[in-house]
Amino acid sequence: MLTFENTEIAFGSKTNGDLRRAYILFRLVGNPRLVRFGKWFTDFCFRCRIPIRGMVKKTIFKQFCGGETIKECDRTIAQLGEFGIGTILDYSVEGKTSEADFDSTVNEIIDTIHRAANDTHVPFAVFKVTGIGRFGVLESANDGEESLNEQQRSDLKIISDRIQHICEAAHDAQVPLFIDAEETWIQNTVDTIVLNMMRLYNREKAIVYNTVQMYRHDRLEFVRTHLAIAKDENFHYGIKLVRGAYMEKERERALEKGYDSPIQPNKATCDADFNAAVELILENISHAALCSGSHNEDSAHVLINAMQKLELEKSDKRIWCAQLLGMSDHISYNLAYAGYNVAKYVPYGPVKEVMPYLIRRANENTSVAGQTSRELSLLIRERNRRKLAR
């Protein structure tokens, strides 16, 4: 049985300095007060033009990001590739609101598609819809286009056209494309557009993948429904399964606005639905393609066991696992060493503009029970192993 306890494999690509930096960072992000202070401090420094860019780039940026440009990510792509792990270039600039910025982001995403074309070390491209269109437009359309006025319809069409432009580029380059999940109050809009993109571009194989957040209690049924649509209409259902990134925000909004929370009642039900969705897709893999985006060891075992039961090859290109750069290396590297398809999300972008992403990542590590302590325990074990080996 595959185990994720082998730290020599997990951290084989890391120098002692890398381990020391990671240890310090995970100690820091395990403290909610320090994370809150860090957000305030970096915002203050950037506003006041205090030169902290170099310090940030050598620490938290280096841990979780590949570089400031696609070219700067080449080293990370090569390092991961040496260990059989692919790179998913993720342009992680957030908070843009102008149409010019949105168009610029579209061009950047298409550049990542071109970088991925014909490179086995870059198996996917990815983008967020909120990176190329105004949140308010997506929110207005969430209950259906029927309620939109003429201007809103025009604005929504611009966003839809941008998405289609990206999907068409991915199809032409034959680069599978993940479209990331969003908050519930805009996700219906995203789901509708993405399903239409699948109808257009997933006829021969899965090019367009929707991302489904299984911390929502309605998502297992959603997966069943959309898989059935794909089978009925004869296109391939591309899906990336994740647990999700907006849980606390979702609960707070539901409480504030007085509607039932969309979030699972507890972690056990979330895990059960995630694992059930993995098994469902694998059982229908002739009509689908799956990326299991999980930092959960049990879910990795569920995927492995289901593949073995269904006699699916480890190297089946319809089935991938993915984790974030700088996290859960014990899962990524041990899976890749065993012959499974694995990729890392590699965020990139100018340091200042990627800071919102980095702060959000630090907050998520703080809020997920056991995540930081698990990372720390593995780092300590590997550092001790190296000391004894000397």
Q: Per the domain annotation, does 290 fall within a domain?
A: yes
Q: pLDDT of 374-390, one tens digit each?
A: 899 999 999 999 999 87
Which of helix, strand or coil describes residue 93? coil
From the list 308, 304, 380, 360, the residue with the least C-alpha distance to 336 is: 304
CA distances from 21 to 58, 157, 165 (A): 9, 46, 40
User: 299: domain range?
Assistant: 66-353
Closest CA to 166 of 189, 132, 115: 132
Whether the pLDDT of residue 156 is over 90: the answer is yes
pLDDT value at 368 more than 80: no
Query: Given this model, what pLDDT does residue 147 score?
Result: 83
DSSP 294: -
Residue 52 lies inside a defined structural domain of this protein: no
238-295 pLDDT per residue, tens: 999 999 888 888 999 999 999 999 999 999 999 999 999 999 999 999 999 999 999 9
User: Residue 211: its pLDDT value, please?
Assistant: 98
Task: Judge whether 343 lies within some domain.
Answer: yes
Residue 105 included in any domain: yes
Q: What pLDDT score does 34 carry?
A: 67
Largest separation between any pair of C-alpha atoms in the chain: 71
**Token pair listed for 103:** 């168009």
Q: pLDDT tens digit string along 60-86? A: 889 999 999 999 999 999 999 999 999
197-221 mean pLDDT? 98
Residue 42 has pLDDT above 90, yes or no: no
Q: How far apart are CA 320 and CA 49, in angstroms?
A: 42
The pLDDT tens digits for 304-345 are 999 999 999 999 999 999 999 999 999 999 999 999 999 999
Give the 3-state DSSP-derived string for the chain, with helices as H, strands as E and coil as C: CCCCCCHHHHCCCCCHHHHHHHHHHHHHHCCHHHHHHHHHHHHHHHHCCCCCHHHHHHCHHHHHCCECCCHHHHHHHHHHHHCCEEEEEEECCCCCCCHHHHHHHHHHHHHHHHHHCCCCCCCEEEECHHHCCCHHHHHHCCCCHHHCCHHHHHHHHHHHHHHHHHHHHHHHHCCCEEECCCCHHHHHHHHHHHHHHHHHHCCCCCCEEEEEECCECCHHHHHHHHHHHHHHHCCCEEEEEECCCCHHHHHHHHHHHCCCCCECCCHHHHHHHHHHHHHHHHHCHHHEEEEEECCCHHHHHHHHHHHHHCCCCCCCCCEEEEEECCCCHHHHHHHHHCCCCEEEEEEECCHHHHHHHHHHHHHHHHHCCCHHHHHHHHHHHHHHHHHHHC
What does the angle CA 307 – CA 312 – CA 316 come to, to the nearest 5 degrees?
110
> What percentage of the chain carries pLDDT values higher than 70?
95
Name the DSSP class of 338: T
User: How would residue 223 be classed by pLDDT, with cut points 50, 70 and 90?
Assistant: very high
Residue at 4 is within a domain = no
Can you give the pTM of this predicted structure?
0.94
Number of structural domains found in the chain: 1
Specify if 381 maps to a domain. Answer: no
pLDDT at 256: 94
Q: What is the mean pLDDT of the chain?
A: 92
Distance CA 159, CA 344 (A): 27
More confident position, 44 or 327? 327
Q: Return d(Cα 209, Cα 271) in angstroms, integer.
A: 21
CATH number at residue 242: 3.20.20.220
Q: Backbone phi, then psi, for 288, in 5-degree steps?
A: -150, 175
Residue 194 domain flag:
yes
Q: What residues does 343 pair with on adjacent strands?
A: 86, 322
Residue 31 falls inside a structural domain = no
Say how far apart CA 182 and CA 191 lie, in whole Å: 10
Q: Are the C-beta atoms of 42 and 53 separated by less than 8 Å?
A: no
Query: Token pair of 353, please?
Result: 């503009």
